[in-house]
Structures are given as C-alpha cells and as structure tokens.
Amino acid sequence: MALALCAVTAPPAFAAEPVKHAAIYVEPFYVAARTREEAPKVGVGGAYSGLLASTNLENILAVADMIRSKPALTTPMTMMVLAIRLYDMGKRDEAVFWFYAAKDRYFTLREVIVPDAPQLAQSADAMNSFNVLLGPIINGYAFCDVARQQVQRAKALDWVEAHPYQAVFLEQLAARQADRKALLAAAIAKARENAEKERAHLADPANLQALKDGRSKNETDSKYCWTE
C-alpha cells in the first residue's frame, strides 16, 4: 500500500504533460518503442509475444481473452506486459486490472516457493522493475478515481484467487513447506489483508485528502487523468 501511494505522489518528470505511453524497459520481457503508435519488442514467450507487440488493439484484447481462457501457467510478466499494452492503447481500466492481477499472482508465487529459489531470480528482478517503472503510471491513473481503483483492485484479487497460479505446484520449484495448498490459501489471505489495509487507510477522510493534495501539488492529475 505504501509503495502504491508513494508512486502516485512522486514528483513528475514533465509537469502537466499527459502520460499516454508507458516508455519503460524490462529486458528481456519488454522494450518500449519511441511512441505508442510504434511496435515494442516483447519477449514473454509463445504466441503472446507477437500479439502483444502488435499495434492493433484487437490483438492486445485477444491476449486478455486467451489468458482468461487458459490462465493456469500464464506468467506475471506476461500480464504486466499486457497491462502496458492496454495502457498504451487507451484501455486504462483494463490495464489497472491486469497490473494488480500480475502483482497478486506473483505475490502468491513468492509466498509459496522458497525465497532463494534460483529459478525465480529472473522473475524477481523483472517484477521488481515492473513495479518500480510501471507502478507510478498505472497507479497515477488508477487513483484518479479512488472508488474505481478499489473496484479494480478487488476484481484483480478475486481473479487471482479464482485462478490459482499452477506454477506454485511445480515440483522443480521447492516450496516453503509440504502443504502448498495451505501456503497458497495463506498467501491469498495475506493479500486480502493488505488490500483491506489500503481500503481502510483511504476510507479516512484525512488520508484521502492528503492523497488528493499530494496529487495536486505534483500535477499528477494533469499527467494521468486525461481523456481522449
């Protein structure tokens, strides 16, 4: 929660300049093009890479449909790239959903698998980079409307719980203890606890006003609350 709110109020690089393009680089998974009209480089694997590199909105939306139909082993990095491409295409509410879903899915993996698992080193680095680089953009938009943000936050967590990341059950990934289902359930419970803390924090009028004041001071609304 603290990271999300800090990201929202971070000083803008270009005052009042609308941010319509997530110009970030998280190699080997994503390298943004110079503009949102150009094709980025995507390396998330399988059919997803080509579709996510497309400048055709229908192809990007097709990836979301594909993930929803077969979510079991879709990586959080793929979902992060989907969030980027949806944002670039102007589908910002959908981008918020997939960003939060990616974070929650990775959180469940991290809570089940041993912290130092070498197989997760690249994923850990990538997810940290996505959070640092993409987080301010997604949260910058999401908190334009706190009520709407909380709806998307809840929907994303519900989706993650309803579609458990099957990577947590892979035998080649050592778990923290034998009962992986119990670990997964505990991870979801912890994620819900964290989400509730954020909701309660923003339910306090003083905290909500502080958020709004910070956004106003840093011209966050000018950067992220634009309409096409």
The number of CA neighbours under 13 Å toward the Cβ of 91 is 18
Cis-peptide into 164, omega within 30 deg: no
**What is the tens place of the pLDDT at every residue in 171-203?**
999 999 999 999 999 999 999 999 999 999 999
Rounded to 10 deg, the angle between the 121-142 and 76-88 helix axes is: 30
Residues 80, 129: Cα–Cα separation, whole Å: 11
- Residues 76-102: tens digit of each pLDDT: 999 999 999 999 999 999 999 999 999
Cβ neighbourhood burial of 14 (10 Å; 0-12, 13-18, 19+) = exposed
The reported pLDDT for the residue numbered 15 is 54
Instruction: Tell whether the model's pLDDT for residue 150 goes beyond 50.
Output: yes
The mean pLDDT of the chain is: 93
Asked if residue 3 has pLDDT above 60, the reply is no
Domain ranges in the chain are 2-221
CA 112 to chain centroid, in Å, comes to 20
Tell how strand 41-42 and strand 25-26 pair up: unpaired
- Of the chain, the end-to-end C-alpha distance in Å amounts to 29
pLDDT digits (tens, 9 = 90+) for 106-142: 999 999 999 989 999 999 999 999 999 999 999 999 9
Strand partners, 31: 25, 41
pLDDT digit string, tens, across residues 15-50: 568 999 999 999 999 999 999 999 999 999 888 999
